[in-house]
Amino acid sequence: MSWTRGRTLGRGSSATVSLAMHRQSCEVFAVKSAELPRSKLLQREQSILSLINSPRIVGYVGCDFTNENGQLLYNLFMEYISGGTLTDAIRDQGGCLHESAIRSHTRAILEGLDYLHSHGLVHCDIKGPNVLVGHNGTKIADLGCARWVGEQAPAVPIAGTPLFMAPEVARGEEQSFPADVWALACTIIEMATGRPPWPEVTDPVSALHRIAFSSDLPDFPNFLSEEAKDFLSKCFKRDPKERWATQELLKHPFLGEECSVQVNLKQNHSCTSSTSPTSILNQSFWESMESDTETEVETPVHMSNQLVLVSSSNSPSEGIRRLIRHISSFSPTPSLPDWSWGEDWITVR
Ligand SMILES: Nc1ncnc2c1ncn2[C@@H]1O[C@H](COP(=O)(O)OP(=O)(O)OP(=O)(O)O)[C@@H](O)[C@H]1O
């Protein structure tokens, strides 16, 4: 396929996403590119995306290799979603969304998760920055962390964003369908408050510790309806076996009747935007990461930026390591993952 690269749409930890245009048809699409030697994860994402087809998941278009400025690149072509991420939409609305918009996005994400789960896939990194809002509705993107349900740690490392991790994931035990449901509830908190759950913790290290080993649950935003709070309570079960599955949640009264995913993003809302250090604008608090003990052991030289082992003792990465060592010292689970900490909205793999 002959195509032209356009402007950059976004940069993740593993790849750069650009606008692209098919030279013959002038059709526009998005291309996610990584240097070939560092494209293993992108190729894995392609292998998953090429097998699925849902209006709630960003569409697969194709893939190729290009030589650009002396660099050999692996390119994954996807449907272009013009409206930006859900996090962008929250920010554009002043830091939080009206409940009707939250309901609409939640239904769309849940339908996408239901599709993935029914096909044996766990997304593993549901959060606002990985949800795209377009004219055709809200869609789940970035399947770079996704895994087949049978693939578990240590064979496939734990992945995701610490503040969105379910207790069993934070403990390094398992990452299956219920973990996506927990992360969906965290994304509802994000939509309602403009910040991740656990706003009172001052750093992600404490959050991970609390998620893993306390009996606490994230606070439910006060202004939400009783239905919304009940929905959250079904997702925020610390025991993954008690957490509701996507099929059950789709019938929950909070979602009501089938509603359009086209939400009016200009609606007035009664919630107040956060000004805390953990507001949606403070990206450093939102960083995602992924353990890759095997890769780190076997390949100390990184495959992608997020695998660099940060040596500064003041770095968040080192902080996470200290946390893990700390947790390990009294955890009943000895095989906790080894974390790295990235720089921006990146998922460390
Ligand atoms: N299909 C798309 N259409 C429009 N923009 C997109 C599309 N896919 C990705 N983007 C933009 O590019 C950004 C990075 O994409 P993506 O999250 O897939 O990259 P990544 O390297 O996997 O990121 P992460 O660090 O979270 O793993 C997104 O936040 C979004 O702004």
Kindly list the domain boundaries of the chain, sorted by start residue.
3-78, 86-255, 274-329
Token output for 212: 């893993």
In terms of CATH, what superfamily is 86-255? Transferase(Phosphotransferase) domain 1 (1.10.510.10)
Residue 132 has pLDDT above 70, yes or no: yes
- Closest-CA residue to 128 (of 78, 170, 185, 212): 185
Token output for 43: 């190729």
Report whether CATH 3.30.200.20 matches the domain 3-78. Answer: yes
Quote the ipTM score: 0.96
Q: Which of 7, 8, 9 to mutate to test the pocket of ligand 1 (most atoms within 8 A of CB)?
A: 9
Q: Which of 14, 29, 32, 341 to mutate to test the pocket of ligand 1 (most atoms within 8 A of CB)?
A: 32
Q: Whose CA is nearest to atom 18 of ligand 1?
A: 142
Give per-residue pLDDT as tens, 224-244: 999 999 999 999 999 999 999
Atom of ligand 1 nearest to the CA of 80: 3
Ligand 1: distance of its center to the CA of 17 in Å?
A: 6
Query: 């950059």: which residue's tokens?
Result: 8
Mean pLDDT of the residues in the chain:
79
Q: Is 141 in the pocket of ligand 1 (CB under 6 A)?
A: yes
Q: Is 45 in the pocket of ligand 1 (CB under 6 A)?
A: no
Give per-residue pLDDT as tens, 66-102: 999 999 999 999 999 999 999 999 999 999 999 999 9
Q: What is the identity of the amino acid at 162?
A: P
CA distances from 174 to 27, 210, 313 (A): 41, 17, 29
State how far the Cα of 315 lies from the Cα of 263, in Å rounded to an integer. Answer: 40
Atom of ligand 1 nearest to the CA of 145: 27
Pick the catalytic residue from 125, 142, 180, 338. Answer: 125
The answer to whether residue 125 is catalytic is yes
